[in-house]
Structure formats: structure tokens, C-alpha cells
Structure 1
Amino acid sequence: MTVLMLSEDYDPSVDRVVTTLGQLDVPVFRADLGWFPQQLTLDAELDDGRWVGILRTPDREVSLVGLRSVWYRRPTGFSFPNQMPRARREHAEREARFGVGGVLSSLPVTWINHPQRDADHAYKPRQLALAGRCGLDVPRTLVTNDAGAVRRFAGSVEHGTVIKGLASNILYEDGQRKVGHTHRLADDDLAELDGLELTAHQFQEWIPKSHEVRLIAVGKDLFAIGIHTTDPAALIDWRANYDALTYSMVDVPARVADGVLAFMKASGLNFSALDFVITPEGRWVFLESNSGGQYGWLTPTLGTSVSDAIASLLAQGGTQ
């Protein structure tokens, strides 16, 4: 039985898991959805409620019924010949998405993670509500496009207010790539909220912090890394200055571990990177969860533990 890995060509985290699976004598078929249809062929037929057939590249092929698990790790989009007219290319992309995506997503095997679960999990307001129901502490949060509501919210919290994105923090404007980090609102910001009414925005109470934690959940295994800084910008959003960060392995309190495992089960996920603020009193406050979160940059602290856990879960496989 084979592990199907769907990822872009260059991904060192995937490379490490492939190596570990090789040491376990587990076959791997690695492909990128961006290879379809020029370097990847699908041949699938419905048989008694299940799709049977093959995925084939110029060098290899794998049987759909011979899969034990799938790692869906940031594959690129389908790629079509440049000479195709735009309308035909857009039509072909839709057909590929529903055809190839539909066949693969129906496979009743272990997924890290199933793309539908990833898609559901992308909604941060949903995450926060679910985390609270699972027993995790969450910050007071407002989602609105009403300036008056923002000012009322800011006046009701003790330590100030931050604004943070609801989706990607990457913006391309005038040909330039811009990154939007979490921003702590000053009085001047609250006085000038022009344009707020044009879309939804997320505001949260500022949580005083000792440090933050990125917690990597793989199945029932939890790996928590403390993220420490004295840099003012990184203290608000550690992504603002990676050079100012130091790391340490930390223990997860039992109550938090129980909440995280309940959260993962309710989300239908086998992998996610969860971010927490740790207050000076030691309280863990959930911020968000990224089901495709990166962890490779933490390898000097983590070692191979996360890669080993992913490989073990993929090797175990199973039906779902």
C-alpha cells in the first residue's frame, strides 16, 4: 500500500517525510496537481461506490485502490498549455478541479488533511467559536464593518485592541508584495476609521504576553515551541522580525492538550499549527490555527519529531 503525496516540487518538509517513509519501507507516490494534465494523467472508473484506476506520470503510476493515505501539502494549481485561449483554459481548470479533485477527495483513506476540511478550517471566526466550545481560552473578538462598534469594543477592553487579518496577510499592490501584520490600535487609529465600512475586519482584545507558542498537532501527538522576543514589533506579531526570535520546547498543560485534541477532532484534521499567547500568569490563550502551517523553520528546535509523527500517521493509514 502506497502513500500519495500531493505537494509542490520543492518542499524540504516533504523531503524529510519521504526519507523517513523510505526507512520504514513504505512506498511513496509524489506528485503535484500542477503537473495535470501535461505530466499527470488520471484514469478512474466508478465501481461499486468507489473510484478505481490509476494516477500516472511519465515515469510511474499508482493504483487508487492501492493507497493507504494521502498527504495534501500545498500542491500548486493545475497547469495548461499557454497557447490555450483564456476561456478554454478557465473551463479546463474548472473541469479539472471538479473531476480530479472530486475523484481524489472521495478516496476513503487517511488524509493529512482532507482539502474540504482545510477549506472549512480557513474561516477564523469559525475556529474561534469552535476553540471556545472545546474548552480553550480565546480572546474577546469583534468582526464588523461598523466604526461605532469598533470604538465601543475598544472602550470595553482592559489592555487595548489589535486589528488582524481574517484571511491571508499578503497583499499585492502596484506590483509589490506587501505583508500586513497584527497592529495594535492607538487613539489616532480609532479616530480615523475611514474605509472600515467597505469590508469585514477582525478586532481582538490585546492579551498581555510573556511569550507565544506555536503548537504542532499531528494526530494525537502535540509539539509545542515557545517563541520569545524583546523586539517591540515582534512582541505584537512575531512574524514581523524573525531575527529577533528565540525558541524553546515547552510542556503543554493537560487542560490545553485536551482542548486541542477536541478541537482537532471536531475540525476533522490530522495536522495543524496552532498559535497561543502565554500570559505572565501562565494562561494559554488560543489565537488561530493554520491547517497547512509551516514548521520546517523550527527544525533546529524540534529536530525530526514532527516529520517522524507525520510519517508514522501516513504509514499507519486506514479507511475513513
Structure 2
Amino acid sequence: MTNTGPVLVVTMVDDPTADLVISELHDRNVPVVRLDSGDFPATLSVAATITSPRGIAGTVTTPTRSADLSAVRSLYYRRPSGFAFTHLDEQDARFALTQARYGLGGVLAALPSCLYVNHPHRIGDAEFKPAGLTTAVAAGLRVPPTLITSEPDAVRDFIKTHGPTIYKPLSNPVYRIDDVPCSVKVDEVTPDQVDDRIRGTAHLFQRRVDKVADVRVTVIGHRAFYIRIDSGLLDWRTDYERLTYSVVAPPAGVADGLRRYMNHFGLVFGAFDFAIGADGTWWFLECNPSGQWAWMEPHTGLPMVAAMADLLERKR
């Protein structure tokens, strides 16, 4: 029987990618309930019961919509703002946040007969770069030599062995400079920059690929969209105005490697980044299990929004 229940979209208010997908679903008359965990409990509520043999039943309710938890056909987990209990003192806020995470978060992670794009627990697993890189190796993808360390001497030895080396953050928390959100960029590291500050935390260093271009591969269900990005930049995210896009075909083995990677983490969506070396080799850099992708559709004409709507609609 076809599932005619709603699609849940879990994301923050300012999410243009989710806006496009929701508009496409509305055009198809697919019911959508959008919610942000940051609105709980002020304007978002949950009432769930767990009984045998039904599993979870009940509702999640926003100011404008309500979803039957037992009938949700799919959940698109994008970029929710996160729980916030700023009106409470530190200890009470810590307790309330934990209960919300394991309560509302636990309910949303246990919906019966629901397709997750992606399941929040699988996203959590796949966001660890060491796990992603080792999985890519096991999947048959080429990965540049990489070092994760807090030891300055290890970095110096790595640069001596592998040559030009870049630094990239293991995760990307947002810094605010003059109240403007900024992120830590990928940059080259020279031996004279390595000092005891390395001991302050863990860092990721990687052999710099002698690249001619980048590739963003967006996997949506059983479809994969391969887009070459030309920029001349070490990190193309630093200047979108310099980017040009073209559709490319992957070399042998990449498509199978992507599928093995996705299967390992239990993902149905992934935004993969590759660097194309001067010899044509595709080097795996990372996979973001909740990455951005919709901005490339107007530049390429690829039907990515429709593909995501097909997946969430569970169209066969």
C-alpha cells in the first residue's frame, strides 16, 4: 500500500535548500510538516505513546500543522538549530536539554515505516572524518595520506615525508568575528608554522593534491549527480563567484565505491567532495551526510530537487 502520510522536514527557519524541496512536494500535493527542534518546547510539542504491537503512535505539533507519528512516510533531516533553554539556569538547562534530546529526538529517530534522509544517528556516525576517510579507503576510493595528531613533531615528519600539506578542521564550528559568522578555512601548512600550539587539541593534516579541479558528487537515493567545479582555489568554498560548473562522468570504480561507502554508514543521501589530480585521479576528500547541493541545479540543469522530492515521496 502506498504511504500517503506526511513528510517531516527537520531544519532551521533559514534553509533555502529545504524551501525548494518543500515547494516541489507541495506542487505534488504531498503533505509536509516542517519543524525545528530549536522551537521545542515553546512552539513545538510532542505526545507519543509506545505500545505493543503498534510501536510509536501520537503526534508532533507545530503552530500550523500536526503529524501522525505512526504515518510519517519520510523524514528529511537537514539542519535544525538545536535545543535551547536559555531561560533556565545552567544546571536546569543542561537537564532540560538532555531530556529533549533523548525525548523528542528519540521519538523522531524511532518512527515506524519511515524513510530517513538521513537517519540522525547515521549522520552522527558519518560526520567523524577519521571514520569517513577509513571507510573510503575500504570502499576502494583513493584518499590522500592523512595525519590526525596533537604532536608537532608528527606534523613536521609528515610534511617531510609527503611534501606540501594542508590543514583542515575535523569539524566546522562557526566562529563569530565582529558578529559575522565565519568558518575555519582549509589552508596550506609550512614547517615554520608548526609549533607547540599544535598540542592544544587534535588537528587534521593531509597531503595537498596537485589538483586541476574539484568535483561535488551528490548522491540522492539511487541517483548520483557528478559536477566538476573549476575555480583555481585551494578551497572553492571561499569564493563562490569564481566557480564554474560542468557535468562530468566518474572514472571507473568511483560509483561502486560511493555505493559501498553509503551502505557502510546506512546513508541514502551524501554530498561527496573529490579533488581531480593533474594525472586525472579522483581523490576522495570527505562526505557531508547533510551537505548543501541545491545551489548547483541552476548552473547545471540537473534535476536534483525533483530527485530529492522523488526520494521523500517514496516514489517508485
* Superposition TM-score, scaled by structure 2 size: 0.91
Q: What fraction of aligned residue pairs are identical, expressed as a percent? A: 38
1:250 and 2:252 correspond: no
Displacement after TM superposition at 1:15 (Å)? 1.7
Could you tell me which amino acid in structure 1 is paired with residue 310 of structure 2? S
Displacement after TM superposition at 1:83 (Å)? 4.4
Which of 96, 99, 104 lines up with 1:100 in the alignment?
104
Could you tell me which amino acid in structure 1 is paired with residue 276 of structure 2? I
Q: Secondary structure at the match of 1:138?
A: coil
Asked whether the 8 Å contact 2:210–2:277 carries over to 1, the reply is yes
Task: List per-residue Cα deviations over 1:173-196 (Å, max 9, x = no partner).
Answer: 68664432112123422xx42211
215-224 vs 169-178, which moves further: 169-178
Task: List per-residue Cα deviations over 1:76-121 (Å, max 9, x = no partner).
Answer: 22344x6444433332221111111111111131101111111111
1:194 and 2:196 correspond: yes
Asked whether the 8 Å contact 1:212–1:278 carries over to 2, the reply is yes
Q: Secondary structure at the match of 1:308?
A: helix
83-92 vs 9-18, which moves further: 83-92
Asked whether the 8 Å contact 1:110–1:317 carries over to 2, the reply is no
- From the superposition, tell whether residues 22 and 175 of structure 1 become closer, same or farther in structure 2 (CA, over 3 Å): closer
- From the superposition, tell whether residues 64 and 275 of structure 1 become closer, same or farther in structure 2 (CA, over 3 Å): same
| Unmatched 5+ stretches in structure 2 | none
**Residue matched to 2:151:** 146
**Residue matched to 2:226:** 224
Following the alignment from structure 2 to structure 1, what is the Cα–Cα distance between the partners of residues 255 and 164? Answer: 28
Q: Secondary structure at the match of 2:211?
A: coil
294-303 vs 33-42, which moves further: 294-303
Asked whether the 8 Å contact 2:172–2:183 carries over to 1, the reply is no
- From the superposition, tell whether residues 169 and 285 of structure 1 become closer, same or farther in structure 2 (CA, over 3 Å): farther
1:72 and 2:74 correspond: no
- From the superposition, tell whether residues 274 and 179 of structure 1 become closer, same or farther in structure 2 (CA, over 3 Å): same
Task: List per-residue Cα deviations over 1:233-278 (Å, max 9, x = no partner).
Answer: x2x1112222222111111224101101111111111111110001
Task: List per-residue Cα deviations over 1:34-73 (Å, max 9, x = no partner).
Answer: 2211211111111116111111223321111111110111
- From the superposition, tell whether residues 140 and 41 of structure 1 become closer, same or farther in structure 2 (CA, over 3 Å): same
Which of 270, 284, 287 lines up with 1:289 in the alignment?
287
Following the alignment from structure 1 to structure 2, what is the Cα–Cα distance between the partners of residues 88 and 273? Answer: 37
Which of 130, 133, 143 lines up with 2:135 in the alignment?
130
- From the superposition, tell whether residues 183 and 60 of structure 1 become closer, same or farther in structure 2 (CA, over 3 Å): closer
Q: Secondary structure at the match of 1:98?
A: helix
Displacement after TM superposition at 1:303 (Å)? 3.7
Asked whether the 8 Å contact 1:37–1:79 carries over to 2, the reply is no
**Residue matched to 2:216:** 214
Following the alignment from structure 2 to structure 1, what is the Cα–Cα distance between the partners of residues 175 and 31? Answer: 39
Q: Secondary structure at the match of 1:210?
A: strand
Following the alignment from structure 2 to structure 1, what is the Cα–Cα distance between the partners of residues 58 and 151? Answer: 53
Following the alignment from structure 1 to structure 2, what is the Cα–Cα distance between the partners of residues 24 and 303? Answer: 20
1:62 and 2:63 correspond: no
* Superposition TM-score, scaled by structure 1 size: 0.90
Asked whether the 8 Å contact 2:220–2:270 carries over to 1, the reply is yes
Q: CA RMSD in A?
A: 2.0
Could you tell me which amino acid in structure 2 is paired with residue 97 of structure 1? R
Following the alignment from structure 1 to structure 2, what is the Cα–Cα distance between the partners of residues 317 and 101? Answer: 27
Task: List per-residue Cα deviations over 1:143-178 (Å, max 9, x = no partner).
Answer: 111122112111111x41111111116334686644
| Unmatched 5+ stretches in structure 1 | none
Could you tell me which amino acid in structure 2 is paired with residue 227 of structure 1? I
Could you tell me which amino acid in structure 1 is paired with residue 212 of structure 2? S
Which of 145, 153, 170 lines up with 1:166 in the alignment?
170
Which of 296, 309, 315 lines up with 1:298 in the alignment?
296
Asked whether the 8 Å contact 1:217–1:273 carries over to 2, the reply is yes
**Residue matched to 2:274:** 276
Asked whether the 8 Å contact 2:7–2:33 carries over to 1, the reply is yes
203-212 vs 8-17, which moves further: 8-17
- From the superposition, tell whether residues 241 and 268 of structure 1 become closer, same or farther in structure 2 (CA, over 3 Å): same
Count of matched residue positions in the alignment of Structure 1 and Structure 2: 310
Asked whether the 8 Å contact 2:168–2:185 carries over to 1, the reply is yes
Could you tell me which amino acid in structure 2 is paired with residue 278 of structure 1? I
